[in-house]
Structure 1
């Protein structure tokens, strides 16, 4: 299957490292004009450097996905410049440095901050991109959730598991709302991947025994990579996936 995105304009949020960086580079390698954003300016600079080193074109922009005005300005601005918004990948999210704690110790601010970046950000970007996709009669929205949204979070963070489940619900709802305009909305639910500083710390906390248990619980007996997640996103965004919408694809090595 030859997947190409020549002439397509692609937005990738949370592109400063990990999944987002891999997704942005994968689209650019297949001909897309990629607009990558994050609040992490240093990480975005590294993404841009890696793209340039590979002779790929990735435009990087600092954007806070929880800021409605900033999101709208970013999406409308690139649509005005390129004439289109074809693919939106809502990858921004995470645990924001939080760790698992007993329920009664979780503050309202900590709860809401995780929901803001994982759910509100996906909603705001979809809201900004949808009018441009509707005018074109074609579009792809791919949300990146987590196995935590389908079961129990390995982190023990209540807000993270809840937010990822909410994002999956948003995916299904938007798929039904936007389908009549030729817009598909799907979700990739990664398993545990060592993809950023947070997951590296999590991996180290498991220790040798915990790491072995995690691997033994996977059918493939190995961890995946950010590229494994990127490949799933490429499929959902492709022409070949044009009759697939409202779906969640677990990319987790077979838990």
Structure 2
């Protein structure tokens, strides 16, 4: 299967490291013009250096709806319609698992804002252009936490990722008549960023072994494993697939 994205414009959020960086690099390598977005400017610059001339940085807070609308308008003015949107921004924002009675309103809302509202705002902004051209690919990056429970123990994270999966299915039906597919990749545990490194290091040797032993393939995945799934959903070959959630977790 030869997947190419020549003459396509792709917008990838959360592109400063981890999954988002791998996705941006993979899209650029396959011919797409990539707009790599994040709030971490220095790390975003590293992504662009790795991805090459086909990739350009955009510092963007996905929780700022007005900022998202303005950013997409600027991209469309410079490059035309966004053909591929990958909503990868998210995470736990430095939070750790705590009992429910200790969770404040701000902590709850912050995780929902970046993991769920951000995906909604970006899709809302690119949808009109995709509708006009009768084509679009939206790929949301959720988590195994959205399908089961979260290793982090963070209630808001599990809930927001489950909500993102629900949003994926709903938008697939709303946008499908316009030739727009909306799909979801749910990664398993991957050592892909500072947060997952801290989680891994916080386990003792037995805990690390148990985690790997519970994976059918008996190994942890890599950001490239997640990027490969996104390449398929974004491709022409996935044109009759929408509203789906693909677990990329080595087998559970």
Query: Shorter-chain TM-score: what band?
Result: over 0.9
Deviation at 1:156, TM superposition (A): 0.3
Deviation at 1:103, TM superposition (A): 0.6
Q: Which residue of 2 aligns with 1:186?
A: 183
Measured in 1, the distance between the counterparts of 2:51 and 2:246 equals: 27
Measured in 1, the distance between the counterparts of 2:243 and 2:51 equals: 31
Aligned counterparts, 1:133-148, within 5 A:
133-148=130-145
Measured in 1, the distance between the counterparts of 2:74 and 2:14 equals: 18
Which shows bigger deviation, 73-82 or 232-241? 73-82
Give the TM-score, by structure 2 length: 0.99
Measured in 1, the distance between the counterparts of 2:203 and 2:144 equals: 18
Aligned counterparts, 1:1-255, within 5 A:
1-52=1-52, 56-255=53-252
Deviation at 1:38, TM superposition (A): 0.4
Measured in 2, the distance between the counterparts of 1:25 and 1:49 equals: 10
Deviation at 1:76, TM superposition (A): 1.1
How many residue pairs end up in the alignment?
252
Deviation at 1:51, TM superposition (A): 2.2
Moved over 2 A (4+): none
Render the CA deviation track for 1:186-225: whole Å, top value 9, x for unaligned. Answer: 0000000000000000000111110000000000000000
Render the CA deviation track for 1:33-64: whole Å, top value 9, x for unaligned. Answer: 00010011111011122223xxx421101000
Deviation at 1:82, TM superposition (A): 1.2
How much is the aligned-residue C-alpha RMSD, in angstroms?
0.6
Give the TM-score, by structure 1 length: 0.98
Measured in 2, the distance between the counterparts of 1:241 and 1:51 equals: 24
Return 5+ residue gaps in structure 1 as ranges: none
